[in-house]
Amino acid sequence: MLVSLFGLTLAVAPVLRAAESPAQEGLAKSVAESMPDTSGESGVGKTTVNPQDLARGKSGSGRRAEVIPILLIVFGCPVAIVGLVAYFRARKQKQLHDTLRIMIEKGVPIPPELLRPPITAGEVSEADKDNDPRTALRQGLFLIALGLGVCIWLWIKSSDSWGLGFIPLLIGLSFLAEWRIESAKPSNSK
């Protein structure tokens, strides 16, 4: 899908350039012919248009043919990726439903593991993640580092918006406070 999108952009760009070029050249000639000769006047308020500059795309409109493929790639790739993820997720769900339908038709009992997503090695379930105080510590440290990085980067870029980095930084501090409160509580585990 991505390859076909890229091929489409490569195929469209030369066509756009070819279609745009004669129109610009014709426009440049008509503008040059319609302008009165002001060689004897003072030059104040005089606008000169060079037909060759318009034909070469120096007016800025000739760059559209170069920008369109780039925009198609930049905005088309995320759409294609989301489409592929949705397609494969739907395909996996269809296979699961087909398996369940066949099991029901044959009268085989359905194991509960088939109905919940598998947990891979080293991964904990969502219920365990919510109870683990290290999750808040991990999220807090990550957001503090992200906030500091954004602040420093925007400050180096001499932007007036360097304070935007305080948003993730303060959220990270709140996660650290939650971790500290949760770790201070006595645990009821065995």
Tens digits of residue pLDDT in 155-178: 888 778 888 889 999 999 999 998
Specify whether 131 is located in the same domain as 91: no
Q: In the chain, pLDDT over 90 holds for what percent of residues?
A: 28
Residues making up the chain, counted from first to last: 190
Can you point out the beta strands (E) in the chain? none
pLDDT for 97 equals: 92
Mean pLDDT for the chain overall: 73
Specify whether 110 is located in the same domain as 135: no
Specify whether 4 is located in the same domain as 80: yes
Q: pLDDT-derived band of residue 90, with 50, 70 and 90 as boundaries?
A: very high
Place of tokens 């030369």: 14
Residue range 144-149: average pLDDT?
94
Structure tokens at 186: 């006595």
**CA pair distance 154, 152, nearest whole angstrom:** 6
Specify whether 25 is located in the same domain as 97: yes
Q: How many domains, in total, are found in the chain?
A: 2
What would you measure as the largest C-alpha separation in the chain, in angstroms? 100
pTM score: 0.36
**CA pair distance 1, 8, nearest whole angstrom:** 11
Specify whether 83 is located in the same domain as 28: yes
Domain that holds residue 68: 1-33+49-118
Specify whether 16 is located in the same domain as 91: yes
In a domain, 41, yes or no: no
C-beta separation of 146 from 140 below 8 A: no
Specify whether 111 is located in the same domain as 154: no
Specify whether 104 is located in the same domain as 29: yes
Specify whether 55 is located in the same domain as 7: yes
